Structure 1
């Protein structure tokens, strides 16, 4: 048994496909298949059920998979420790962001980090909130930036705390009011983000708590389109306060929601009990020193 067998087996099990694993590992499919067959022969068991379109773990395969993950975690931890000692200031950070969160917080933040640590590469990828947690849990990415609360499987570093506001057309009857109660919006047409967005669930839940089911006129995954529909009098929407300036449209007016206050807390998350490299620890420290909660 060797590390290569474990790594190939784990990747095929994760992807449920030899082809996808081949693309990720940059190893030919026949080579991966041969290595895993040898691994099964060595253990004298069948680890993968290849009878369907998707490759699935057998019962014994599930046990070996969990053990293999732990073994690889230990091996990768050794490699990270050695690299950390050999070259203290080099490394990379893979960061997952929800759409538009990058625009909200990270261009200036990452620019400052790169200036302080020029030899550390930061790779940013976008996922919706549900996928983002999945990828952090599977160690596909080092960190995620998402909305609290999250699963107890993660450590959290608070980033930004604010509330949701209602945006309306600048000629809307509510314009001129300093505050509005959420229940006052029960007869309005809502423009919501799609169900992939955590904001979708947050708004619907808040409305139900206020005593009504929102009348949904449109849904969209595009922030700019939501803004344009509000500007065109097609409905109202609820968005984080700091995102209002993103629309940059004089036909959009924001009003504070006085009751209830709908919290919107962003946090950096990472997997509990995961080995943190020097690079990862420095990234966390840098984020904490920026004190975004008071911005």
Structure 2
């Protein structure tokens, strides 16, 4: 068993396809198949169920997959430690953030950080909050900028900002004349929500249930702008962070505060507990702590 076998096996398991793994690893499909078959022969087990079009892990394959992730991460930690000693104040940060958060927070923070550490590169990708926590947990990215709630036993959490959620309605809605509203007053309304991939979907549904009703969902989207247009055309109302209201270039969208219950939108920086962090990642954490809004 060697590290290359494990890396190829992990990538095939992630992609559920030899072809996709081949494209990502830049290695021919037969080479990947041969190495994984050698690994199976060595362990005397079948790791991948190849009987269907989409490859799945067997029971023992899932166990080997989890252990392989730990082994690969341990080896990467060794290289990172050595690289840190040889190349101080250099490196790459692999970071994920939600699209909306990039608009709110990061242009100023990133500019300041790059000015202080010009030799540190930031490899940034965008995911939903749920995807981000999964990527950080699996070690695919070093840091994630996401929203609460987050598993505090699994992640270190650095608060960045907190803001209220507000109701947005069209300009002919009965709520327009109100400065604030109790969430329970919205029980007969149709809601426009983000999809289940987003934490805000769960936050809004949970708040509604705690206020005594199950929200009637008229439409779900993964795009903020589409949600704003749907509200403007009277498809329903929505609940979003206040800072996002300014993104809607539509005079027919109006925001109202929620007086009860108060629902905070808490943005945090997370990284996995007990995971080695490079100099670059630690430097970014310190910079954010000293310069957060």
Superposition TM-score, scaled by structure 2 size = 0.90
Cα-to-partner distance string for 1:243-292 (whole Å, 9 max, x where unaligned): 12222433322121111101211111222221111111111112211233
Change (3 A) 1:258 1:33: same
Q: Alpha-carbon deviation of 1:81? A: 0.8
Aligned: 1:260 with 2:261: yes
Take 2:217 and 2:156, find their aligned partners in 1: how far apart are those partners?
35
Change (3 A) 1:249 1:44: closer
Q: Alpha-carbon deviation of 1:137? A: 1.6
What is the aligned partner in structure 2 of residue 18 from structure 1?
A: 18
Tell me if the contact between 2:73 and 2:139 (Cα under 8 Å) persists in the aligned partners.
Answer: no
Cα-to-partner distance string for 1:157-188 (whole Å, 9 max, x where unaligned): 11111221112223433334332111222233
Q: Alpha-carbon deviation of 1:132? A: 2.0
Take 2:230 and 2:4, find their aligned partners in 1: how far apart are those partners?
53
Tell me if the contact between 2:96 and 2:127 (Cα under 8 Å) persists in the aligned partners.
Answer: yes
* SS state at 2:274 partner: coil
What is the aligned partner in structure 2 of residue 161 from structure 1?
A: 162
What is the aligned partner in structure 2 of residue 96 from structure 1?
A: 96
Take 1:189 and 1:69, find their aligned partners in 2: how far apart are those partners?
44
Cα-to-partner distance string for 1:48-98 (whole Å, 9 max, x where unaligned): 343333334444444443333332222111100111111112211222222
Take 1:64 and 1:16, find their aligned partners in 2: how far apart are those partners?
15
Take 2:65 and 2:231, find their aligned partners in 1: how far apart are those partners?
50
Take 2:205 and 2:159, find their aligned partners in 1: how far apart are those partners?
24
Take 1:9 and 1:107, find their aligned partners in 2: how far apart are those partners?
38
What is the aligned partner in structure 2 of residue 31 from structure 1?
A: 31
Aligned length: 292
Matches within 5 A, 1:276-287: 276-287=277-288
Cα-to-partner distance string for 1:84-141 (whole Å, 9 max, x where unaligned): 1111122112222223222222222222222222222212222222222222221122
What is the aligned partner in structure 1 of residue 113 from structure 2?
A: 113
- Unpaired runs of 5+ residues, structure 2, are none
Take 1:249 and 1:127, find their aligned partners in 2: how far apart are those partners?
26
